[in-house]
Structure 1
Amino acid sequence: MSIVALADADPSCGRKAYRLGVALRAGLPVPDGFVVTGPAVEPQRIAEQLDRLGGGAVAVRSSGLAEDTSTVSFAGQLETILGARSLDEILVAVRRCAASPGTERARSYRARLDPGGDGPAAAPVLVQTLVAADHAGVLFTRDPRTGADVVLINASWGLGESVVSGAVTPDEVVVAPPGDVVRLTVGTKQTRLDLRGHGLVRSPVAEADRARSCVPPDGVARLVALGRRAEGLFGTAQDVEWAVADGRVWLVQARPVTTRGGPAPATDPAVAVPLVTGVPSSPGRARGPARLVRSVEDFRRVRPGDVLVCRTTDPAWTPLFGLAAAVVTETGGILSHAAIVAREFGIPAVVGVDRAMTALTDGDPVTVDGTHGTISGGHHR
């Protein structure tokens, strides 16, 4: 086993850790941490590094050698464990993260985007101080659907896991050069995930906080500046995960935007009035029977060409994306892991579709327009 301080991370530490190390060396606000490489885990050496970080909760994340490239993100496909505190918890988390390239979801993702490629048996593991965020989320420095030169921000209360997992429909802010907010859509943000005491707690968001944007105007400007700094450092459009705690903005991940899209086509007048609408997240149009999936027990019902309809998706559901003609979720935003993977797989997706599970009927034919965010009945042409 080898342990490398995050500030010294090199390519052998995996792309996530290496890129954060580059950002840290360039002066960007990155939480401190270290990287564990190699198959063996030595508790004493890890304990020494945890002491160096000052104790407290950490984020333990896989840092795969093949992830975070310009075409393959592995968004949500490798393991992340938040809030581990004790040495025993952290050792278990390190082992789980190291082994995550061998999970079914990672193999399924790799088979779709890198057919015939052999994935590594294990991944380096990044351990960082966990930012106890007041609000957090994701920003892209280009629109991944159209390639437009805008900064897209998705934000919600608490830890950013709520945004990347699609557990909530976040606020969406669109910022055009030189820094003008051209659209602000306040998401429902019904729940939040926070670090409390000795663990993570998901709780309801107060009605007043659901109804307002969690990022103030000056916060938008700071996030745009962070994204542009990352873009300038790495030389290409960036997918940035960020967190704000006690008024300070932190960068917790930076990787290339893997899809750029193109100009949106006009709406097809032959398509019927939508049954439901949501956030257009992966462009294109697809038709198929709606398949309502509530849990893993429903996986066996999904057939090639079905339209996957669910409340939200879990990384373990990635194999279904290889079967689905399109994806519809009740919660989530354009920058969630599910939306990223749908774009990489080239299937239409509409997220944040309120009451999709009740408005759509299992087995009924639907047309999903991921460019315009509509779901209509029947097989329209």
Structure 2
Amino acid sequence: MLRSLDAVSTGDASLVGRKAAQLGALRREGFPVPPGLVLTVEAFDAVLDELRRAARAPEGVAAADLPLPPEVLHAVEDIAARFPDTELAVRSSGVAEDAPDRSYAGQYTTVLGVRGHEALAEAVRTCLASAFSRQVTAYQDPSGTYPGLAVLVQPMVEAVAAGVAFSVNPVDGSRDETVVNAVRGLGERLVSGHAAPDEWSVRGGSAPQRTAGAEDALTAGQIARVALLTREVADWAGCPQDVEWAWADGAPVLLQARPVTALPKAPEQIPVDVEIPPGRWLRGGYTLKPLTPMNVSTLIRAVNKGSEGLFRYAFAERIDVRSLGGWSYLRIVPLPDDAAVRERAERVATAVRADEPFSLVESWHGEWHPQLARRTAEATGTDLGALPDPALLDELGERIALADHAQHLHFLVGGASSLVWGELGVLCRDLLGWEASDVLPLLTGLPGKSSEPALALARLADLARERPGVRAELEAPTGESVSRLEEHEPEFAAAFGRYLEDYGQRCLGADVAEPSMREQPVTVLRLIAGQLSAGSDPQQAMRRTVREREAAADRARAALASGPAGAAERFERSLARAEQAFPLRDDTGFYAHVCWGQVRYALLELAARLVRQGLLRTADEIFLLTVEEACDALRNGTGLQDLAHRRAGEQNWSAAHLGPLTYGEPEASVSLDDALEPLPPHSRELLEPVRWIDSVSHMGARGSAAEGDTLLSGTGVSAGRYTGTVRVILSEDGFDRLRPGDVLVCPETTPQWSVLFGSIGALVTDTGGLLSHPSILAREHGIPAVVATGNATEILRDGQVVEVDGRAGTVRVLDAGQAR
């Protein structure tokens, strides 16, 4: 009559009820289910027999009048003895409940806060009597039989928050969305309807988005862990699950899991034709979602148009980015033939001889940077809502043209700048015998847009640290925090507003459909809160990096003091030029992303007008259109709802059909040695910076897991050793999940990720090399980093404890048991 929860599984449902059987199976699989004892269906049968012997109709019997036979009372005493002085949760567990076609949700009774033998006996009576209630009789099978009922008894969970979660969207049937409802305290407040819960939406690896509620029950990071648990339960069960959970002792606890019933059909999927052009195509590493038509018609078009500048001093034609099956694929277009290769080599040699690359660096500093800064500031100050429709379309066109220009400059100046500081690498190699790892400290920690956002965020954290009211608000920032700070902490609010204006305008992802940080101020407030709680100081790390840079320069000067005549002067000149050039890859990229953010804001205003005119259902649908389609709709009043609906179906199909890593066969390409071989010796010498940059860029082959997946190998790019907790973040919309001191594990980073580096303890990436963006940022912040692991995001899981060795290039899993 009594079973331990540890001794039951799904095959015991007829004896312990479906709820207890499911929880027992989950507990045995390692899920966080509290221990418990089950008063089996034998007790229910004994009570039913007792009623029949007394010739009493079971239907509607009151709990107080329900007879408990001696053997049932003895079992209750046994349960009470096993949980002395413990508050208990007493739950009904029906044989017929939680079935795929009929859930019995809310039909049976739960009694919480039970302590002592007498109270437990009363709670058991209440649960068993609920099987005979009129509402259950009306709900159950019309045959009139009473499905068996067991009673599950568990220690109460001391919950700070609780709720329900669905591994799918129960309203529209979206299979890629997890919905979490949360309230403070016990979940009974939610189930009984006494509280309006926070409602969160979690899609894939994206950060949770709160869609309703003001309970502030949990942080977005905590909700992400609840969503992950819910998806893991669904994966284990093999079907969508409705989960009851509680948050206790810093982790989610599983209280119930059952199939989602009456689930709507999944969103429509409309197949997309996949036509593969000739050549070798590699799926974009930064793209975790299908490309939107709007992005293809704006940013992707600009990338394809402007990428020739990136190869102005290199031996390929350009980048070609296409949407294949809805996903971003990239091809490096080779030069067409040997004659084109020879012509390119001669042209690059002539350009280097004329010092053209450094002239472009000077043009950036003296002309293009001030111009972009002024024009983006003007765009920020424009009241888009006040513009008439024709003026808005003109403004959108001007912003796209400016973004095209900024994207072109990013490629052109970024490519040119590498040759300039490549000259320093060649000089240090030839005069000092230095490797690339000796040269790069000369250029690490230079002022620029790669480090500015994190340092400015640290200054905000310093400002918050001095103000108790700000600190209190940052303990649990919400959507109302900004307005409260404006009212009560105006100095901090003003500084925060300037930060969003200076650094928050960029689109966070590689798609104009992705929101900027200015649109997500709570994410920024949480990053500040993380720095406060961790006590981290990115400014101190940067000062240390500056000292190391100065020490590297002093070592070079000391070695050259007794070197060949003029060597010291050549070093100083080359170092000064390299210092101007090295930060420009990130600086130019920063302004390109700011310009695309300004394009996004204009598109959102255009979308709002199309919605008001009934031409679109929601503002987000504008990203399912091309820019030409959206503009024509505003001019002509063309309805776009059917087109947006079809494109949404195509996006759903693409999301469910991720393409392969590559299409096509590898193409013949010219090696750098072959390209330079026809040149005369003096010209080949001029192009040594090209060779040096090429060799350094390719340092760091893809690593792999070894030793039973307890060790990953990659390329160590920032020395040091750190032990911490893994946080896998696949895209920018996962920033909310980061906690202070985490080991950030990601595919790669872009400049937008720089705000995280003041909070993390170490970095691990799938791809990259010595000169990749994450490597540079890690060295600037003094963070141990391993890149080019190949598959860290697939092997490592949130919650694991790892040791990162940034010198050896290894990541060792120390505690795999915390992965769930």
The bucket for the TM-score relative to the shorter chain is: 0.5 to 0.7
What are the equivalent positions in structure 2 for 1:76-87 lying under 5 Å apart? Answer: 76-87=106-117
Secondary structure (helix, strand or coil) at the match of 1:124 reads strand
Check if 1:13 corresponds to 2:16: yes
Correspondence for 1:98 among 93, 112, 128: 128
Residue identity matched to 1:221? A
Measure, in 1, the Cα distance between the counterparts of 2:194 and 2:238. Answer: 31
- 1:3 is aligned to 2
* Normalised TM-score (structure 2): 0.28
- Matches of 1:121 and 1:237 in 2, distance apart? 25
Deviations 1:8-53 (A, max 9, x none): 1222100000000001110111111111122245444433333434
- Change in 2 beyond 3 A, CA 1:92/1:176: same
**Match of residue 204, structure 2, among 148, 152, 177:** 177
Distance 2:109 2:193 in 1: 16
Q: 1: CA distance between counterparts of 2:251 and 2:84?
A: 19
CA distance in 2, matches of 1:55, 1:45: 17
Give yes or no for contact 1:170–1:187 (8 Å, CA) kept in 2: yes
CA distance change for structure 1 residues 46 and 109 in 2, over 3 Å: closer, same or farther? same
Greater share of helix: 2
- 2:775 maps to none
Distance (Å, rounded) in 1 between the aligned partners of 2:143 and 2:27: 32
- Larger relative CO (CA 8 A, sep 6+): 1 or 2? 1
From the superposition, tell whether residues 160 and 119 of structure 1 become closer, same or farther in structure 2 (CA, over 3 Å).
farther
Tell me the CA shift for residue 71 of structure 1.
1.5
Q: Distance in 2 between matches of 1:174 and 1:121?
A: 36
What is aligned with 2:334?
A: none
For residues 135-214 of structure 1, the aligned pairs below 5 Å read 135-149=161-175, 150-181=177-208, 183-188=209-214, 210=215, 213-214=216-217
SS in 2 for 1:14: helix
The 5 Å alignment of 1:304-319 reads none
Q: Cα distance, 1:80 vs. partner? A: 0.8
- Which stretch shifts more, 136-145 or 122-131? 122-131
Q: Write the letter of the residue equivalent to 2:258.
A: R
2:158 to 123, 132, 135: 132
Q: What is the distance in 2 between the residues matched to 1:248 and 1:16?
A: 22
Q: Which of 91, 94, 106 is 1:64 aligned to?
A: 94
Match of 1:219 among 217, 222, 241: 222
2:143 and 2:170 map into 1 onto residues whose CA distance is 25
SS in 2 for 1:102: coil
Q: How far, CA to CA, are the matches of 1:264 and 1:242 in structure 2?
A: 27
1:203 corresponds to: none
- Pairs within 5 Å for 1:206-355: 210=215, 213-262=216-265
Choose which of 9, 13, 25 in structure 1 pairs with 2:28: 25
The answer for unaligned runs of 5 or more in structure 2 is 47-68, 269-820
One-letter amino acid of the structure 2 residue matched with residue 170 of structure 1: P
Q: CA deviation at 1:92?
A: 1.2
Deviating beyond 4 angstroms after TM superposition, the runs of 4 or more aligned structure 1 residues are none
Deviation at 1:224, TM superposition (A): 1.3
SS at 1:259 equivalent: coil
**Amino acid corresponding to residue 147 of structure 1 in structure 2:** G
1:244 positional shift: 0.8
**More strand per residue:** 1
Once the two structures are superposed, residues 167-223 of structure 1 have per-residue CA deviations (whole angstroms, 9 ceiling, x without a partner) of: 111000000112432x313424xxxxxxxxxxxxxxxxxxxxx4xx21112211210
CA drift of 1:230 comes to: 0.8
8 Å CA contact retained: 2:162, 2:186: yes
- Shift in Å, 1:95: 1.8
**C-alpha separation in 2, matches of 1:54 and 1:176:** 43
Amino acid at match of 1:22: A
What is the SS of the residue equivalent to 1:180? coil
State, as a whole percentage, how many aligned pairs show the same letter: 38
Deviations 1:98-131 (A, max 9, x none): 2212101111222xxx4x2434265111111111
Counterparts in 2 of 1:263 and 1:17: CA distance versus 1, 3 Å: closer
Deviation at 1:228, TM superposition (A): 1.4
Local SS of the residue matching 2:174:
coil
- Letter matched to residue 238 of structure 1: Q
1:153 and 1:146 map into 2 onto residues whose CA distance is 15
| In 2: Cα distance, 1:178 partner to 1:4 partner | 39
Root-mean-square deviation (CA, aligned residues, Å) is 2.1
Distance of 1:174 and 1:61 partners within structure 2 = 29
Q: In 2, are the aligned partners of 1:140 and 1:153 still within 8 Å (CA)?
A: yes
Secondary structure class of the residue paired with 2:261: coil
How much has 1:96 moved relative to structure 2?
A: 1.8
- Tell me the SS of whatever aligns to 2:159: coil
Shift, 1:264, TM fit: 8.5
> CA 1:122 to 1:236, structure 2 compared with 1: closer, same or farther past 3 Å?
closer
SS at match of 2:131: helix
TM-score by length of 1: 0.59
Distance 1:145 1:186 in 2: 15
Does the 8 A contact of 1:99 with 1:121 survive in 2? no
Structure with greater Cα Rg: 2
Return the letter of the residue paired with 2:163: G
Aligned to 1:346: none
The whole-number CA distance in structure 1 between the counterparts of 2:114 and 2:148 is: 21
Deviations 1:124-144 (A, max 9, x none): 111111112110000000111
**CA deviation map 1:246-293 (0-9, x unaligned):** 21311000000002114789xxxxxxxxxxxxxxxxxxxxxxxxxxxx
